[in-house]
Structure 1
Amino acid sequence: MKKFALATVAAVVIAAPAQAQDGFNGFYAGVSVGYDFQANDDGEEISFDRGSNGTFGETVTTAAGANAFSPGFCSGAATSPQNTNCRDDSDGVSFQARLGYDRQMNNFVLGVVGELGTADLRDSVSAFSTTPAFYTMTREIDFTAALRLRAGVVAAKNTLLYATGGVAYAKMEQSHVSSNTANSFTVIADEDAWGFQVGAGIEQKIGSKFSLGLEYLYTGYNDDKTLVRVGQGTAGATNPFVLAGGVDFLRVNDEFNVQSIKAVATYRF
């Protein structure tokens, strides 16, 4: 269904009649609907800090000195304490509203555009202990914002081909779940993720005011400050987290990369 919708918009853009006379000038407002998918993050792991002193990359051990997390990790949400085959991360549909301004100089167009929208993405990583137990960190996007420049050329009288790039922001929801009911867990979250966007697109004018287009964007967010702090809870003195004097853990990979394909409709004032 998503492929059919995008193909339909593409057909409209290509077949649209050349009617517009005003060029790509002035302020415009628009909306877009697209599909977001995450870059492959196979091999993602969780890093541990014994004693919560800021030194990550350490090993949490059992009372016998063995690695308490020897079962390993997976790039997704755990489905059971014993099984390291996790549920895949979730991609989804996004919606945005945009406001921009363009200036056309002969066949060259230079402009700026701001966007505010939603995304339906879930990205998880899980660790598995010998207890057995699972520990899953998940981040989801509440809303996004971006401010980009765009520059392009008018390939035909009413067709604009452009490149775009700028700064991106995402409001994150950070969470943790575990099958370990003995220790206590506190999420120390950084919900603000900043990054960049780059992409390209095509815009076809339909009459003098309306345009339809297709756009591809690559967004790279940096999310490096959220961690989970493990306390003793009701666990005994031989609990691996207690033996370590408390433990913090976080994602090894702090990048959250998203690719998006959008159908865009705009109206010029």
Structure 2
Amino acid sequence: MKTLLTVSLGALAIAAATPALAQSTDDAQNWTGPYVGGSLGYGWQPNFDRDTREVVTFDTNSDGNYGDRVRLPSGDDAFSPGFCRGRALGSSPSSCTSDKDGRTAWKVHAGYDYQIGNFVVGGVVEGGKSYIQNSVSAFSTTPAFYTLTRKLSWDGAARLRAGYALPTGTLIYGTGGLAYGKIKNSFVTSNGLNNFTETNRSDKDFGWTAGGGIEQKVAQNFSIGVLYKYTRFNDDGYTVNVTRGAAAANNPFVNPAFTSGTTNMQRTSDRFENHSVQATASFRF
């Protein structure tokens, strides 16, 4: 990411210091018109306490309320080994690998700007790939692991933007709008006895995005820039239902002494968010 930012900012500095690249002063200062282009950059997820402390939560009595404890026949907690924010590589929390939050991201975009004096307003639509994903794992006394993974397959946005145009052909702007993405969930476990059924594995969610950037004209019809965005989706509804399968009748997931005969599991956090910094390039008509 440091290399990308260095190259992008260096290109902007060279363009700003070389006004001869623009065909005329008026052209350099005029942002009105349609444009198309693309961007390439780097995306990452925040790791606030709410993220690093995410766990798997259970509904054992089928009342739709999560937070129940899965109990051994003795009444003890079947998930006393604990949880981790990441993907399990073995049957204990010490085997958990943390999420690789950094991912390459690319987008294509099309938009229109309108300039009034030094102020520029406009709208842009975009779409592409962000490759963002994260996991949370639970560990039972069996021992066994249970990992739920969330992945952003593709995403897009419709954003408004507003900014201030400098005489150097530089536009500084803020942006925000509606985001839309396809989120895929998946589940894997080392428990080979119970049966596991997933609900709402794939979901198309609306969210929102906001950020800001700087854009520099390097020719009458061409501009480059750097754009930062924060994007958030709320991915709810993904559930893993556990039934008896080949397990014993007193299996913690189905034991009639403590459950309704089945157990549902979900993640404790619906928030699926990411930050991104991208180098942009646009052709203007």
Same fold (TM over 0.5): yes
Structure 1 unaligned blocks of 5 or more: none
1:93-142 CA deviation, whole Å, 9 max, x = no partner? 01100010110000000000111101222200001111111100001111
Structure 2 unaligned blocks of 5 or more: none
Match of 2:112 in 1: 101
Counterparts of residues 172-251 of structure 1 (less than 5 Å): 172-189=183-200, 190-243=202-255, 244=259, 245-251=261-267
- Secondary structure at the aligned position of 2:10 is classed as helix
CA contact (8 A) 1:84 1:128 kept: no
CA contact (8 A) 1:165 1:197 kept: yes
Provide TM-score, normalisation by structure 1.
Answer: 0.96
CA contact (8 A) 1:137 1:176 kept: yes
Amino acid at match of 1:179: S
Match of 2:99 in 1: 89
Distance 1:83 1:123 in 2: 16
Distance 1:101 1:84 in 2: 52
Distance 1:63 1:170 in 2: 43
- Secondary structure at the aligned position of 1:156 is classed as coil
Question: What's the RMSD between the two structures over aligned residues?
Answer: 1.2
Amino acid at match of 1:5: L
1:68 aligned to which of 78, 91, 98: 78
CA contact (8 A) 1:72 1:84 kept: no
The alignment covers a number of residue pairs equal to 268
Match of 2:41 in 1: 34
1:163 aligned to which of 171, 174, 182: 174
Distance 1:82 1:39 in 2: 25
Match of 1:261 in 2: 277
- Secondary structure at the aligned position of 1:173 is classed as strand
- Secondary structure at the aligned position of 1:236 is classed as coil
| Percentage identity across paired residues of the two chains | 43
CA contact (8 A) 1:158 1:205 kept: yes
Superposed displacement of residue 82, structure 1 = 2.1
CA contact (8 A) 1:76 1:125 kept: yes
CA contact (8 A) 1:74 1:85 kept: no
CA contact (8 A) 1:46 1:251 kept: yes
2:63 aligned to which of 37, 53, 73: 53
CA contact (8 A) 1:73 1:84 kept: no
CA contact (8 A) 2:126 2:158 kept: yes
Distance 1:74 1:88 in 2: 8
Match of 1:146 in 2: 157
Runs of 4+ off more than 4 Å: none
Match of 1:7 in 2: 6
- Secondary structure at the aligned position of 1:167 is classed as strand
Distance 1:122 1:78 in 2: 15
